Amino acid sequence: MQAQDITKGSIGGVVRDASGAVVPNITVRLSSPYGEHVTKTNNGGEYVFPNLVVGSGYILTVEQSGFATAKVTNLNVGVNQRTTTDITLTVSTTSQTVDVVSEGTATIDLVTTTIGANIDESLYKNIPVGRNISSIISMAPGAADGLGTGAANPSINGASGLENQYVINGANVTDPGFGGFGTYSRNYGSLGNGVNFDFIQEVQVKTGGFEAEYGQALGGVINILTKSGGNDYHGSFYGYFAPKSLAVDAKNANIGLSNPGTYVSGDSKYDFGGDLGGFIKKNKLFWYGGFNPQFNRDYRSVPPVFGNSKLGTIEVKTRTLNYQAKINYNISDNHSSEGCFRRP
């Protein structure tokens, strides 16, 4: 048996001739920005490329004497999903090789029994959502606000927000004491989960029909994958600014309260950074890294009944230095290793 890494995907299908008969023992090649792989079809004409890096740009090529070369381009691989691509070979009428090219943009996973959603970068970066992992998770059907468990721990299919399982790059990061996403402290509350929004490649939210490798979840399973390097250098630089001067002051609710408290008139948010990835050795060793510092300022004041009200409006500053790094090494066609470091 061959195990499937939940942080990877796969491509598989059946090779047939024009009459519909399967073609056994034929060579199938897979090329991509993340390396090249070669396999052969079995007696049933089936082929499979397991443990592939999630992403786009995969190209399938099938060559056989007497047939025209078949090529399927622009295949996408989703996290923990099988991209099913069947190939039909046509008889070559000349000695010249003829490429039969088709676009593999639509991917259907015919293997999994899971109910849920796969949300990739092409979706969540083109719609108005918050710049945090919680906003992406909430896009999945069946996920709702966890109310008392906080926005980072959504209720999935009616279960408590503390009954989910969270996996980042194959590692279970569910808090063992509270069941929440990341580390939680009784004194300081949530201490973060180390997931940089711009470092996310794809998020898979499983709401039912979990595979055998999952457990310890009455709600949902959230499988998060971060970006990896490839044979081409790629990256981005960005900046987001929301200063208080561009917004109206918040209403002061203390006027109607019998027990007035701290009044927050507004806040300023500054979020910028960049990421870059590439290769150390093509087809073998890849790297990716990112840095995203965030600066927040809250403007607070208290009612006159408090002694420190004479200080007026106080600017409370917070700073978070998010940085992440990842390295991938292809040991062979069927084996790979990966290391990842995250902060905060």
Predicted model pTM: 0.76
- Confidence class for position 197, pLDDT limits 50, 70, 90: confident
Q: Per-residue pLDDT for 1 more than 50?
A: no
* pLDDT value, residue 55: 85
Domains and CATH numbers, the chain: 9-103 (2.60.40.1120), 115-226 (2.170.130.10), 234-343 (no CATH)
Q: What stretches of the chain show up as alpha helix (H) in DSSP? A: 121-124, 133-137
Whether the pLDDT of residue 97 is over 70: the answer is no
Is pLDDT above 50 for 6? yes
Q: How confident is the model at residue 275 (pLDDT cuts 50, 70, 90)?
A: very high
The percent helix, strand, coil of the chain (3-state, each to 5) is: 10, 50, 45
Three-state secondary-structure class, residue 250: coil
Q: What confidence tens digit (pLDDT) does each residue in 111-163 have?
A: 666 778 888 888 888 888 888 888 898 888 888 888 777 777 888 888 888 88
Mark 209-237 as b/e (b = at least 16 C-beta within 10 Å): ebeeebeebebbbbbbbbbbbbbeeeeee
Nearest to 118 by CA among 139, 97, 143: 139
Confidence at 342, pLDDT banded by 50, 70, 90: confident
Say which residue, 68 or 215, is predicted with more confidence: 68
- Span 12-18, mean pLDDT? 91
Assign 253 a pLDDT band (cuts: 50, 70, 90): confident
Burial class (CB in 10 A: 0-12, 13-18, 19+), 67: buried
How far apart are the two ends of the chain, measured CA to CA in Å? 38
Which residues partner with 326 through β-bridges?
288, 340
